[in-house]
Amino acid sequence: MRYKTAAFSLIEVLWGVLILSILIITVTGIFTGILTSTKKSEKLVVATNLAQKQLEYIKLMDFSDIPCPRDFDGRNSGITGIEFKSSYFPPYPEGQPAPLKEVVDGITYYYRVQTRDVTGTGKLIGVVVSVYWDKNIADTSGKNFVMLELYKAQ
């Protein structure tokens, strides 16, 4: 009497390993994408909160205390003859011309606060707060920044 034994052939085992490998690689790729997206979202939330904090600080300032028009990133404004004279949001110690920055969870976020006279009469000021990370503050071509705007009337 002969017993029939059921077994997988080598070809069947190889096909099973191939299908299993494809599934594992696909799932790993999905999880990697999710982790990357989560890290980017965390940076975006932190940058938004930092920009909002700066805008709240500016909301509390008197209208006359907001210099306009200016670009407050620790460098000169690009307007001939106008330089920054320790006018930072928030105020920095005298003689500290460094860009506004804050480190959160090991990541350095840079601020850029710009003001402009919206109406030309000096009665309405627009304030734009930009927060950058992972790149040069002067480069606005990338996606690693947040911009919030506030209008303040006299």
Residue 80: CA atoms inside 13 Å, Cβ hemisphere, count? Answer: 0
Supply the pLDDT for residue 27. Answer: 95
Neighbouring residues of 115: CB distance < 8 A, sequence distance ≥ 6: 66, 67, 68, 69, 70, 71, 72, 125, 126, 127, 128
Q: Which residue in 79, 80, 143 sits closest to 114, CA to CA?
A: 79
State the pTM of this model: 0.65
Question: Closest Cα to residue 70, out of 127, 8, 131, 22?
Answer: 127
Q: What is the DSSP string of 106-138?
A: TEEEEEEEEEEESSSSSSEEEEEEEEEESS-TT
d(Cα 75, Cα 96) in Å, to the nearest integer?
11
According to the model, what pLDDT value does residue 145 have? 83
Strand positions, DSSP E, 12-97: 70-72
As a whole number of angstroms, the distance between CA 86 and CA 91 comes to 7
Chain-centroid distance, C-alpha 116: 23
State residue 142's pLDDT score: 64
> In order along the chain (154 residues), what is the average pLDDT of each group of 10 residues?
74 94 95 92 91 86 73 44 38 52 84 79 83 67 81 86
Q: Are 109 and 103 in contact (CB under 8 A)?
A: yes
Residue 116's CB is within 10 A of a number of other CB atoms, namely 14
